[in-house]
Amino acid sequence: MFGFLGVVTCLLLTHFHIGDGVWRYKNTFEEKELYTTHSAFFLEYEGSSFLEWQYPESCDVNNKSLPNAAIWCESSGFATVKPLVSVREEERHLYISDSFFRFSWYAVIPELRNASESDSQIVRIWIIDPDRAERTEIYNTALVPSIHSRYLTKQFLISGAYPVIESSSSSQTVQSYFTNQGFWEARLLGNPEYHSFCIFGQSVSFHGQCVVSSRHTFYMASPEKPYGDREVSLYLPTGSQLSLVWGVCTPYRALLLSEKGTFMTKNAFLTYEEVKVDPGDLHVPAEGYFTIFEAALLENALIFRVGDALLWRDNKDRILRMNPNKLLDHGVKGLNFRTQCVDYYPLQDFELASVLAWKDHELYVGGKSLDWQNNNNYMTKVLSLPKTATILTASFGSHPEALDALVMYTHNDDPVRLSLITFYETEGIWRSSTFLSNLKEQDALQGPFQMFFVGSALETLLVWNKDVMLYSFHNNSEWGYMQPTNFSSLSQAANGSHIHQVVMDHSWNMLIKMENNALFFCKAGINKLLRLPTWIDSGSSMVLYLNQKNQIDMLILSDSGLHVQKYPLLMEIRSAMRGGVHVCPFIGFTHKMKRRVYFMDKGDRKELWAQIVYHVGKRIDVKLHMNNKHLLQITSRTHFESVRGVETINKGSICFFHLVEQCINMLFFQTFIIYQETHLRSRPNNSGLISQSSGTVSMELLPTQIGNACYLPKNQVSHLLVGCPPNRHIRVVKPQEIPCEMHTFEKYTIPGSVLRNPKLEDLLVHYDWKRIGCVLKINYKAAFRPDIDLYDGDTFVHSVDANFIVWEKFGRKDYYFNATMQQVACLHEAQTWKSMLVDKKHSEEAWGPHNYRSCFVHTSKKLGNLDQPYEIMNKSSRNYLTFSQKDSATYVFIVKILDPNYSFCDLRAVFAVKTYGIKIKDQRLPMYVVLILTCITLIMLCLIFYKYVTVFRNMLRKKHL
């Protein structure tokens, strides 16, 4: 009876040709880790011909005749599920894991849920069981735990669990404390408008089950002011596919362009609003709206391409403006924006472009915000081609500094030729790629074209027109057509539909979406495409969006509005790959290149290791791909081990480990040692060479063989800045035994006679305590040698053993060195301040790493006078500074590192010395002596005169008598 009904329904279905239904599944929190045994998930059939669900015996369904049913599975492994509809319906192999994860972290910011507390930085955290959570907890509106969650959280707390909160912007962990209301509270740091953090736990379990680590994101989006009658809508041309535009470093701010309007979100499509513009002085087209082709989202404005002009809408006054001085007002053929944030990229004083626009023969770039009040142009021209070359499309490249343009050359009778050219922003030069030059003539492709670049050390990209997609991997070392299984072109594999969109997540999973919503999958770097089961019916308008949690969302625009649906990409890939065509040649691959940016100064070495596990009998290596190879030297060390089963720890989930396979595998370690060859940098007096030996190197670690089924670590590419690391500087150590005084005087004088350029009058110096710091009090007889430490910001790196020189800031020269050139074993006369200053150069520049010559190397130079003082010091030398023996003096010394092989940085520091101990009498003694002698002489003279007068008087008296 039932079977008969089924047949009838099938016949009816085929007869009336009701379109294919689609079916989907999800779990409560749509987390892939939570498809576990005994946890419920939900099946959903969309279509009208549903009969019942088919599922394995190990699973149970609440009501198999319900199109929306709940299902539980008891055993782990693949569960094959499908709705019984017609022969055509696709089945899925849902992977149910027996992992220990069952519970989730719940996080809520009360302020964002309109609670009375007004601190937007406080987050409350507790633990929930998805199967027993309350609705408010599932929809993230609960402010306090439910009874069950409170009990669960308490049990975990007793076992020693606490949340480790790591902010994604700063990678700092935030402290939390447990409150008597049954949850943890923490104060978040950073921008209150947008919080994104991960919560990790400890390996603590409750009845053998753990809490899964998770990412939580909160937005504080203030709604737009309501629009009035003046404002008009912006539509894509009729018949266009949906198109998505997002902020370079704020992907939760996005614009959805459609033929039904333009919509903006500030919270990753939790909410959205239509964007309208005040036409200002512009003429509104007769249809009553503007037709746009492309858009770009800046920090403070939106840019639209309307016809062949670029217009901008300021975020504040929302007026649409045309300004030929800032934006291109005619001939624009396309507008594109950067899709990956490059804020971390180490460039000083240089802003990489965020937007690009092209005309037929010219390419322009623009920055991340548009300042329309000043007079500067927003766009800068970076490419100007002859009339025979036409730009077909342009995009930001694989490297943060690269821009790429696809150019068509037409030369009289020659066949049309396509070429890809790349521009490096800081170098300012264009290079052409060999890609497409090998394309056969009969394969001549028709545009319009689009491109997608994978962030990679060596250029890796896809180029497509409506029907076919070409790839070029690793600087074109591999290229060809992307191959869907059993079909020659993508369009053919998708029932004639056209390519609509390409999206890639952070783990290098790529999705190619067709206009009929068919999806193809591959790992970036693989040319074999796998078709995934249908998730959305072919008639819906849909576009893919990669959200903040690295999940794919489907944005479906219908007459009833915008609908967001999570897409469980990893579950779908696993299901589709169960056939076994797509395998991974290795079992596990990890590497220790976790940071986005590394710095390498002279003399530094970096070690990067990678580990790969594979089956015995294979041989897979790890390759380090890098650009700018000439800057560095690389050696590598390898190490094999055979192991029985391997435990790989999933870093995101501390509680999770997984025995790979119980057979003998090979564990292969490869360590790359990266350093700079000395000869590259030791050639002195050549600033050209310095700039050639510094720069940025992009590095990428990849196994030599990969497949679609491989798991790849998230961060594949790191940039190494060979040059001066930011905030690197030196400090002079203040020895503990020497007192260092602050604010004891304001000014002092230097006698004119002790200056390097002697003067008649004395020099008055105002001492700058803020910049120079304390003054070391040293006895005039003592010798002193400064010790120098190297710092990165406030972090001590190591103490400096390189050679350095000192000079007195105000030009004193009454300080000396106690070693002679002979004593330090110079082979010829060494450089001295006297010899370096002959050209009357300024002390600051006269002597330094650029012109340093060591006296310990043989040269053809004459021996010279080795009895002169040696004026270079270092940590291990016996050469010390000595001070004036005539006068207590104040010196302000500048130290400078002299060794050219020590650092790319200009390392200088300042320290001050005040000597004491010289008795004041010494200097004035001769004057006193003269004075006293004069007095004595005067007294003597007086006495003599008196005596003489007395004698004379007596004589006179005698004469008169």
Ligand X SMILES: *[C@@H]1O[C@H](CO)[C@@H](O)[C@H](O)[C@H]1NC(C)=O
Residue numbers at the binding site for ligand X (CB under 6 A): 63, 65-66, 485-486, 783, 801, 803, 818-819, 823-824, 874, 876-880
Identify the sign of the CA torsion 146, 152, 158, 161.
negative
Contact 511, 543 (CB under 8 A): no
Q: State in angstroms the smallest separation of the CB of 488 from ligand X.
A: 12
- Three-point CA angle 304, 305, 307, nearest 5°: 140
Q: Nearest approach, Cβ of 53 to ligand X (angstroms)?
A: 11
Cα separation, 460 vs 457, in Å, equals: 8
The pair of structure tokens assigned to 658 is: 């997984």
In the bound state with ligand X, the residue whose beta carbon lies nearer, of 246 and 852, is: 852
Main-chain dihedrals φ then ψ at residue 84, nearest 5 degrees:
-85, 105
CB neighbour list of residue 286: distance below 8 Å, 6 or more residues apart: none
Residue nearest to ligand X (CB): 877
* Rounded distance between C-alpha atoms, residue 86 and residue 615, angstroms: 42
Smallest distance from ligand X to CB 689, Å: 21
Please, what sign has the CA dihedral across residues 434, 436, 440, 441? negative
CB of residue 468 vs ligand X: minimum separation in angstroms?
19
Q: How far is the CB of 45 from ligand X (least distance, A)?
A: 12
CB-wise, 63 or 704, nearer to ligand X? 63
Nearer to ligand X, 653 or 803 (CB): 803
Place of tokens 């120098």: 788
> For tokens 């512009």, what's the residue?
282
Whole-number Å distance between alpha carbons of 798 and 728: 11
The partner residues of 784 in beta bridges, in order of sequence, read 881
What are the distances in angstroms from CA 397 to CA 127, 203, 368, 421, 477? 43, 42, 17, 10, 17
Q: How far apart are CA 481 and CA 335, in angstroms?
A: 26
Q: Which is nearer to ligand X, 634 or 827 (CB)?
A: 827
Shortest Cβ 852–ligand X spacing (Å): 11
Find the shortest distance in angstroms from Cβ 7 to ligand X: 20
The residue among 84 and 634 lying less far from ligand X, judged by its C-beta, is 84
Q: How far is the CB of 896 from ligand X (least distance, A)?
A: 15
86 vs 879, beta carbon nearer ligand X:
879
Comparing CB distances to ligand X, the nearer of 165 and 576 is 576
d(CA 79, CA 96): 7
3-class SS string, 284-347 = CCCCCCEECCEEEECCCEEEEEECCEEEEEECCCCEEECCCCCCCCCCCCEEEECCCCCCCCCC
- Coil, strand or helix at 724: coil
For ligand X, which is the closer residue by CB, 660 or 819? 819
Q: Is the CB of 856 or the CB of 916 nearer to ligand X?
A: 856
CB 917, min distance to ligand X, A: 15
For residues 53 and 235, which CB has a smaller minimum distance to ligand X in the complex?
53
User: In the structure encoding, which two tokens stand for residue 641, read together?
Assistant: 């081990």
Nearer to ligand X, 45 or 589 (CB): 45
Comparing CB distances to ligand X, the nearer of 751 and 864 is 864
SS3 call for 671: strand
Query: Do you find a cis peptide bond into 226, omega within 30 degrees of 0?
Result: no
CA atoms within 13 A on the CB side of 593: 33
The CB-of-818 to ligand X minimum distance in angstroms stands at 4
The token pair at 569 is 């990409």
The C-alpha atoms of residue 898 and residue 911 are separated, in whole angstroms, by 17
CB of 733 to ligand X, least distance (A): 16
Distance CA(111)–CA(106), nearest Å, equals: 16
| H/E stretch holding 154 | helix 147-158
Minimum CB–partner distance for residue 490 and ligand X (Å): 14
Residue 400 CB-half CA count within 13 A: 23
Burial class (CB in 10 A: 0-12, 13-18, 19+), 640: exposed
* DSSP structure string for 578-641: GGSSS--SSSEEEES---SEEEE-TT-EEEEEEEEEEETT----EEEEES-GGG-EEEEEEEEE
**Nearest residue (CB) to ligand X, 328 versus 881:** 881
Which of 28, 9, 16, 32 is CA-nearest to residue 83? 9
The residue among 767 and 780 lying less far from ligand X, judged by its C-beta, is 780
**Strand ranges in 410-508 using DSSP code E only, listed in sequence order:** 417-424, 429-432, 450-454, 460-464, 469-473, 478-481, 483-484, 499-504
CB of 110 to ligand X, least distance (A): 40
Give the shortest CB-880-to-ligand X separation in angstroms.
4
Q: How far is the CB of 11 from ligand X (least distance, A)?
A: 22
| Residue 505 beta carbon to ligand X: minimum distance, rounded to whole angstroms | 23
Residue 166's φ and ψ, nearest 5 degrees, are -115, 120
Q: Which is nearer to ligand X, 801 or 906 (CB)?
A: 801
The residue among 50 and 246 lying less far from ligand X, judged by its C-beta, is 50
